[in-house]
A and B are shown apart, each in its own frame.
Chain A
Amino acid sequence: MPAPVILEKNGHSFKNWHTTKNVGGRVEHYLTPTNRWIDGSPVEKGFQPGLLALRQAVREAEAKRERIRCVGAAWSLNNLAFTGQRLVNTCRLTHYFVGFQSDSMVTPAYQKKKNRLIFAQAGTQVVALNDALEKARPERLALPTCGASNGQTIVGATQTGTHGSAHAYGPMPNYVRALHIVAEGGEHYLIQKRGAPVVTKNFADYLGAELREDDELFSAAVVGLGSFGLIHAVLLEAVPMFGLGRWVKQVDFPSVQNAIYNFDPKGLGLPSGDKLPWHFEVVVNPYLRGPGQRGAFIRVYDKFVIKAGDPLPRIPVGPGGLENSRDLVTIGGLFTDAVPDLIPGALQGQIENSLRSTGGAVIRGTPGGQFNDSQPTNGGTSMELGVAAEDVRATAEAIFQVTDQHVFGAPVAFRWVKGSHQTLSFSRFTPLTCHIEMPGIDSSRTRNGYQMIWQALDRAGIRYTCHWGQALPASPAWVKRAFGTRVERWLAARRAFLSPEGRRTFSNDLLDSYGLGD
């Protein structure tokens, strides 16, 4: 077999997508594997050079006793993916296929829906999958949910437990059906649930991988924080194409308070009436919570059926590009909080600009069209909590107490996700987890604000999780408080899969500091 092309930079200065301060740094060996052979010979299976490159990279790291990690689109706002020794940029590993031809590759339960299974290499971005699934045959498909943006790689997003606001579905890892991981010695494994297998040994043989069917290993590795080895690819299950209708309304905070605290949309005048839409979200300017200040923004996306043969709904295109909503980190990143007195007004302007009211209209589009372009923020950050639905009021009040004393430029966004059973999913509260996100500029004022909020929640005894890809408390105590016995289960699954040396190889400083490296 020929050698794969691996683009290598030594002493590379790595920054994340949002160029957040204190994220990234110098990397001794920065490796970008590709799906191309050095001698230019044709590639029989599209993923083969990339897979071989990852196996080779692991062996080289082991030979030098260096750590090795993967980074995707670098959307994480912390150093979860980072190591300064060997960092693999997976962005060029974008081979994918949609559906299987042969029944022999899938279990009987999946033979009738084998066209809905997607095999995607680690660097495949959500935008590429959205685009491909719209064109799938015999039926058009869609990802069940996404992180309300489309620039993340599928593995980066799922490894950190990314979610949208699908209160009836859950976070993105929910549709991962198998993981293809390159582990110690460059050996590679196809891991799926024993209780609900999707593919047969024939598919593992097609990949050249060893098939592992293990519920506990799968549940831990699917939100594995990139530390079970180098993830080469994932197998996903899509759903038939559906449409999403976007509706945005600016209101006073008191009028939406009940909806936030009790997850009850009665009286809001939503297009779905008093029924909860597929995606329900409220963004609050914490400094304009009074009557008449119009400091709250309701954004909903409701599902509608797109029949086979119907044209796909498209978002209107404006003079500057697509007229869709920006993601939340972009909101925070568009202004600085250098002058605290200006923050409430500046923040309001930015939210109004980013969450433009639809004037009562419902803007119809595909999931890929609704969750579209995102901009790097040049120094943005974000902090996101997960709390049980019954703790939303106490958490919000604790946050507002902090923001009343310490002004910093971040809105407070509330979203709800069905609780997840994946071991270290930060959407862990069942039946419903409320995610409360505060995106802003990475200044000392913002960092102090986050710290004060974590401390306030600790004092109040509120149990919370934190988004693995966003700003995290420095103290490791939150991990145990957030996940309880799930931490031990996760560590046990990792210990059963990797030797002590393997665990060291695939860990990093951040995971070590949280006691998750061994």
Chain B
Amino acid sequence: MGWVRRLPLLSAALLALSGCYSYSYQERNGGDLSRLPIDRNLPESKVRWSMWWGLQGNTFAPVGCADGVHESGDPACTNPIPLCDEGAGQVTVSMPWYSALSMIGTLGIAMPHKFTIYCATNRPTQDSGPPPVGP
């Protein structure tokens, strides 16, 4: 009955695969309702913990850094700036590989989620007028 002995390992592996699930929200433009262009090359990601069966939530409101030395979110940053000049264009929430294990191991007390923010590279145009004209 070797497979029975391996069952915990298999279960843990399958639970870890739940880290592949993800959900995204994407902002759209006015007009043709195209998706807002985003900078997919420089996302801002962080794992955040929600505690006590959701009684203690967790808001993610990161800042960027423009001192040329530190990365965004580094407390040593000497010139913190808004993370996205044009706002967030896409927000993705996924579960780290240890989410399900953590939830089971802590009886649901601690549940981590990974937030990823992709900055919009142009503002949404719902209310904009004609584009800017050159010199």
Contact = CB atoms under 8 A, between A and B. Distances in A.
Q: Do A and B bind each other?
A: yes
The A interface is mostly helix, strand or loop, or mixed, namely mixed
A7 B79 CA distance: 11
Interface residues on chain A, size class: 35 or more
A125 B31 contact: no
A5 to B, nearest CB: 4
Given A7-B42, A92-B121, A368-B34, A135 B68 contact: no
Contact of B134 (A105, A130, A131, A373): A105
The B interface is mostly helix, strand or loop, or mixed, namely loop
A135 B135 contact: no
Given A91-B40, A128-B121, A131-B125, A8 B68 contact: yes
Nearest to A374: B35
Contacts of B34: 127, 130-131, 150, 368-369, 372-373
Contact of A92 (B32, B85, B125): B85
Nearest to A32: B42
A513 B32 CA distance: 42
Nearest to A314: B32
A102 B130 CA distance: 18
Contacts of A36: 66, 81, 85
Contact of A312 (B31, B35, B67): B31
B131 A105 contact: no
Contacts, number: 134
Interface centre among A9, A131, A150, A366 (most CB of B within 10 A): A131
Interface in A287-328: 312, 314-315, 317, 322
Contacts of B31: 131, 134-135, 312, 368
A269 B72 CA distance: 57
Interface in B5-54: 29-42
Nearest to B122: A128
A312 B132 CA distance: 21
Interface in A29-78: 32, 34-36, 38, 46, 71, 73-74
A76 B130 CA distance: 32
Interface string B65-99: 11110011000000101000110000000000000
26 contacts: A5-B66, A9-B71, A32-B42, A46-B132, A91-B40, A91-B41, A91-B42, A94-B121, A96-B131, A98-B131, A100-B134, A100-B135, A105-B134, A105-B135, A117-B134, A125-B121, A128-B122, A130-B32, A132-B131, A135-B128, A136-B130, A137-B130, A203-B135, A312-B31, A372-B34, A373-B34
- List the 10 closest pairs (A to B, CB-CB), nearest first: A91-B39, A125-B37, A132-B131, A97-B134, A369-B32, A5-B66, A137-B130, A98-B131, A89-B41, A128-B122
Given A131-B30, A373-B34, 4 more contacts: A91-B41, A92-B85, A123-B121, A132-B125
